[in-house]
Amino acid sequence: MSHEHTLGPDRARPATAPGDVSPVEVIVVSREGVRERTDWVAVEEPLEIRARGPGQQPVSVAVTMRTPGNDPELAVGFLYTEGLLTSLDDLVTARECAPKSRPSACNVVQVVLSRPFDGSSLQRNFFATSSCGVCGKATLDQITVRSPPVAPGPVVGRSTLVALPDALRRAQTAFDRTGGLHAAGLFDPDGRLLILREDVGRHNALDKLVGRALLDGELPLAERILLVSGRTSFEILQKAAVAAVPIVCAVSAPSSLAVSVADRLGITLVGFLRGPSFNVYTHPERIDPHG
């Protein structure tokens, strides 16, 4: 078995692609007047994820709008969090497919499995935008969380949690240039950043992170803390639950459904993690407020 997509040892910094940011000319209007300058924006392009088993023709599974970079991780993580890939043993390769006419324009990843790929559960292709990863699901049944309650996991002190956002922000390379990317960071119980991934879509950033962990043989993530920028939606909690993350934190608010999923699956959900304070919405037993 060969897992052809690997990265260097510094997983706490996302691998960047030549097209992850793009220059644009802007007119800046301020109290000091009007001026022109070059700015940088995050690139948003479609990625098609295809999968096949031995001797099968590839099946188009999903099209997601993403920021280029770590695309095989994104494909593997997406298939895993959607229940279409169950373990590293299922995976043979995850390879980018670039057109011969434009070798730098690679917007397709083909995932080859060691077992037959069953796409019968796909009533139609997924289509996920950067702002809503579940908009294209055909029925609500397709987004039912497919995982048992998470393991007890670690107990984390307040001082560790409040330091996480700054650690995440310091490692965000593309955000420094654009100000327009979401991030997902995986931490150990001592607050050490282990994996960081960035994308225009927060669900894509998390899929890239889960894909990296799967390729490294580190799932389930039963002793880890997840921090996402922005808010926590149902889908973020679904993906975290499939990866068995016991503590999910965000710098903004959760949705009502995210709180319900976290409560039902035993996940500690932390929101508004900013400065010295935060809110604990579910399962506070993993948080030491005096630690």
Whichever domain contains 189, its CATH number is: 3.40.140.10
User: Would you state the pLDDT for residue 287?
Assistant: 97
Out of 97, 106, 132, 249, pick the active-site residue.
132
- Tally of domains within the chain: 1
pLDDT by residue (tens digit) across 248-283? Answer: 999 999 999 899 999 999 999 999 999 999 999 999
> Is 167 inside a domain boundary?
yes
> Is 117 inside a domain boundary?
no
> How far, in Å, are 48, 138, 242 from residue 83 at the CA level?
18, 16, 8
**225 - beta bridge partners?**
187, 247
Contacts of 233 by beta carbon, 8 Å cutoff, 6+ apart:
202, 203, 254, 255, 257, 258
Contact 70, 35 (CB under 8 A): no
User: Would you state the pLDDT for residue 23?
Assistant: 79
Report the candidate in 227, 142, 237, 224 with the shortest Cα–Cα distance to residue 189.
224
User: Would you state the pLDDT for residue 14?
Assistant: 53
Indicate the pairing of strand 268-274 with strand 225-228.
unpaired
**196 - beta bridge partners?**
185
> Is 126 inside a domain boundary?
no
> Is 54 inside a domain boundary?
no
Q: Does the annotation mark 106 as catalytic?
A: no
User: Would you state the pLDDT for residue 27?
Assistant: 86
Q: In this structure, what token pair is assigned to residue 236? A: 């973020």
pLDDT by residue (tens digit) across 156-171? Answer: 999 999 999 999 988 8
> Is 125 inside a domain boundary?
no
Q: In this structure, what token pair is assigned to residue 139? A: 């029925």
User: Would you state the pLDDT for residue 102?
Assistant: 52
Range of 165's domain? 156-288
Gyration radius of the chain's alpha carbons: 19
SS3 138: coil
User: Would you state the pLDDT for residue 52?
Assistant: 96
pTM above 0.75, yes or no: yes
> Is 248 inside a domain boundary?
yes
Q: Which residue ranges of the chain lie beneath pLDDT 70?
A: 1-19, 98-105, 121-146, 173-180
> Is 277 inside a domain boundary?
yes
> Is 63 inside a domain boundary?
no
| Beta-strand runs (E) in the chain | 21-30, 33-42, 45-52, 59-66, 91-96, 108-113, 126-128, 156-157, 182-187, 193-199, 225-228, 247-250, 268-274, 277-282, 287-288
User: Would you state the pLDDT for residue 37?
Assistant: 87
User: Would you state the pLDDT for residue 30?
Assistant: 83
